[in-house]
Amino acid sequence: NAGVTQTPKFRVLKTGQSMTLLCAQDMNHEYMYWYRQDPGMGLRLIHYSVGEGTTAKGEVPDGYNVSRLKKQNFLLGLESAAPSQTSVYFCASSYFSTGELFFGEGSRLTVL
């Protein structure tokens, strides 16, 4: 099994550009999450989804949008990138709301 796959792994954007990060999981998990990881700040939840067609805001949702049109995919969009969005983004999924999370390898985004 591939588990949780994120694409792309690296991306450099200019301020104001848009992009979409794709997360795909093959474990039939209901719950999916997008986190960002910044030095000294741990992981912060951006958006999450409790099932196909549903999304909700996490701790730091501003400047991001998400969609979960298919159960296995969770997309994270940046409509107008800003330097403050330079970070490493992790997608995760879980079967139960109280279960352990399975993480992707991360997507490193740099906004110039």
Partner 1 sequence: AQSVAQPEDQVNVAEGNPLTVKCTYSVSGNPYLFWYVQYPNRGLQFLLKYITGDNLVKGSYGFEAEFNKSQTSFHLKKPSALVSDSALYFCAVRDPRSYGGSQGNLIFGKGTKLSVKP
At closest approach, how far in Å is the CB of 50 from partner 1?
5
19 vs 43 by CB, closer to partner 1:
43
User: What gap in Å lies between CA 71 and CA 26, rounded to an integer?
Assistant: 9
With contact defined as beta carbons under 8 Å apart, do 20 and 77 qualify? yes
Considering the complex, state which of residue 1 and residue 98 has its C-beta at the smaller distance from partner 1.
98
Which amino acid, 8? P
Query: What tokens appear for 39 in the block?
Result: 């030095």
Q: Which of residues 60-89 bind partner 1 (CB under 8 A)?
A: none
- The CA R_g of the chain, rounded to the nearest whole Å, is 13
Position 12 contacts partner 1 (CB under 8 A): no
List of residues contacting partner 1 (CB under 8 A): 4, 33, 35, 40-45, 48, 50, 56-59, 90, 92, 97-98, 100-106
